[in-house]
A and B are shown apart, each in its own frame.
Chain A
Amino acid sequence: QVHLVQSGAEMRRPGASVKVSCKASGYTFTNYGITWVRQAPGQGLEWVGTISSYYDNTYMAENLQDRVTMTRDSSTDTAYIEVTSLRFDDTAIYYCARGSWNYDAGVRHYYMDVWGKGTAVTVSS
């Protein structure tokens, strides 16, 4: 059975950094992408970024690309997202999700078929 287990809730001061982990099990980790999505309190879903299958290419939301790093470690089947220079409006639940894909003309189009339970990140002074 496919599972994504995320690390626990975090609280940080503005300007600090946070790193969230997402451990996968039940499937071949490198065959799928990992997408990160966040949801601010009472708000909708915001795509943060995707790390591709096989080649670990990263694609990020333009408003976050200067402060977000996504990585994956195939030796431990774990993905990570790090957000630096935290701001109050980074307060959100951060979800990781497995990126299954549709393949068309040499391009993988990733959709999110299995989700972690989310990690609450609170930025507070």
Chain B
Amino acid sequence: IQMTQSPSTLSASVGDSVTITCRASQTISHYLAWYQQKPGRAPQLLISKASTLESGVPSRFSGSGSGTEFTLTIDSLQPEDFATYFCQHYNNFPYTFGQGTKLDI
């Protein structure tokens, strides 16, 4: 299953709202996770099962979608949100990641 994220890069300002899209080449039900990665750090889980916010993740992050199309929305961007975001399906093996979306200022 191929996972395609768009856009590859996204420029925004503090306070903006942004949306990242992830499309699967075939249906993955709702088995989609979103991760945030900052330079030199390990990825961090934001959302599982398409829309379940991980404990401790700010509520300005939200996910939606099912089947083949999914979105990650970040409301009211904060300085610490500028990072790279990856989607990943875990519907069946082999799991695959999207290519990433770099969110910069």
Q: Which of B31, B86, B98 has the most CB of A within 10 A?
A: B31
Interface size for chain B: under 10, 10 to 19, 20 to 34, or 35 or more residues? 20 to 34
How extensive is the interface on chain A, given as a class? 20 to 34
Once the chains bind, are B90 and A45 in contact (CB under 8 Å)? Answer: no
Instruction: Please tell me if A102 contacts chain B, counting CB pairs below 8 Å.
Output: yes
| CB of A30 to closest CB in B, whole Å | 20
Q: Does B45 contact A (CB under 8 A)?
A: yes
Distance (whole angstroms) from the CB of B44 to the closest CB of chain A: 7
Chain B residue numbers with a CB within 8 Å of A111 are 31, 33, 45, 48-49, 88, 90
B10 to A: closest C-beta gap in Å: 16
- Which residues, 48 to 84 on A, are CB-close (under 8 Å) to B? 50, 59-62
CB distance from B47 to the nearest CB of A (A): 9
- Known contacts A45-B88, A109-B31: does B93 contact A59 (CB below 8 Å)? yes
A112 adjacent to B45 (CB under 8 Å): yes
Known contacts A111-B33, A117-B42; is A47 also within 8 Å of B94 by CB?
A: yes
| Residues in A whose Cβ lies below 8 Å from that of B49 | 102, 111
Q: What residues of chain A lie closer than 8 Å to B6, measured between beta carbons?
A: none
For the A-B complex, the count of residue pairs with Cβ-Cβ distances under 8 Å equals 62
Most buried by A among B95, B97, B99: B95
A29 within 8 A of B: no
- Residue ID in chain B nearest A104 by CB atoms: B29
Determine the chain A residues whose CB is within 8 A of the CB of B37 once the complex forms: 45
Contact of B54 with A by CB under 8 A: yes
Partner of B97, one of A44, A62, A100, A115: A44
Q: Does A116 contact B (CB under 8 A)?
A: yes
Instruction: Indicate whether B21 reaches chain A with its CB closer than 8 angstroms.
Output: no
In the complex, the 5 A-B pairs of residues with the closest C-beta atoms, listed nearest first: A59-B93, A115-B42, A47-B95, A45-B97, A111-B33
